[in-house]
Amino acid sequence: MKCSDVHPLLDLLSDGALENKDTALVLDHLKLCNECQSEWNDLEQLRSSFRDAKDKSQLPAGLMERISQKLKDEERNEHMQFFEKYKRFFEQYARPLSIVAIAAAIALIGFLFLPRIHQINTQQTSIQIASADTLVDDLVSEGTLEPVIDRNELAKRVGYDLKHVQLPKWQMNQSGVYRSQTTMPMARFDFVRKSQAGDQHLSCYQAPQGVIQAKVANLENLEGKRVLFGSHGKFQFALWSQNGRDYLFVTALSKPQLEEIVRGA
């Protein structure tokens, strides 16, 4: 078992709620992993302090069971409103408790939920914003695109699922991972379309929603899409979000031609 598999099972192990097979797997892991063993020791010490505080403070009947059950329910559902709910819960029951019991309860809550909150905050702060102007400039920059042909492999490289965009009149020219020192890796697709005037080119960046931003652009409602249209140098661009993804279309074609492309996408 991995550490990420063991950590959520420690509380169940302490309660004796694990099946024999899972208990054996967790105990085998604790023998080999000092980090998880340390977390297990801390949890057992906290629970021991909690039990001692309960005996000394004459807690109301069933309070500890209700706290334990509430903790498990909130962890399972991952409701971020947990602390607000428990604030009201402890306001109702805190008066009969001693300071020692309250401190032990807060310590147990912090042990279970602060690592999760820290992980969420870390994920949020790790997202780097990408400027539409920079992405347009990098279309002609060498070394910013790492070619990847297979779509599944491309999704692995960028770290998120790729959504399909309807471009029936265009042919894929190349795809790959856009890399920059100032933003996260993201998928880029380059398309080409034949016309009487010659080949027409279109590039599409795809990233998690909220990553790509445009400083100077005009917001328009186009076929139900809220699209930001702008220009940078000789290029026109369109930026919008749908299905949890940001889409940035970039082309040297005119704005009306770009609007036509976005309508059909």
Per-residue model confidence (pLDDT) at position 106: 64
Domain that holds residue 81: 62-126
Phi, psi of 211 (to 5 degrees): -80, -45
Per-residue model confidence (pLDDT) at position 47: 78
Per-residue model confidence (pLDDT) at position 56: 60
Question: Hey, what are 176's tokens?
Answer: 């790959």
User: Of 126, 149, 178, which one is at a domain's C-terminal end?
Assistant: 126
User: Of 56, 71, 94, which one is at a domain's C-terminal end?
Assistant: 56
Mutual orientation of helices 99-126 and 82-93 as an angle, nearest 10°?
Answer: 170
Per-residue model confidence (pLDDT) at position 164: 82
262 neighbors 251 (Cβ within 8 angstroms): no
Per-residue model confidence (pLDDT) at position 147: 92
Give yes or no: residues 90 and 17 share one domain.
no
Give yes or no: residues 120 and 224 share one domain.
no
Q: Give the residue ranges of the chain where pLDDT is below 50.
A: 79, 97, 118-126
Give yes or no: residues 36 and 155 share one domain.
no
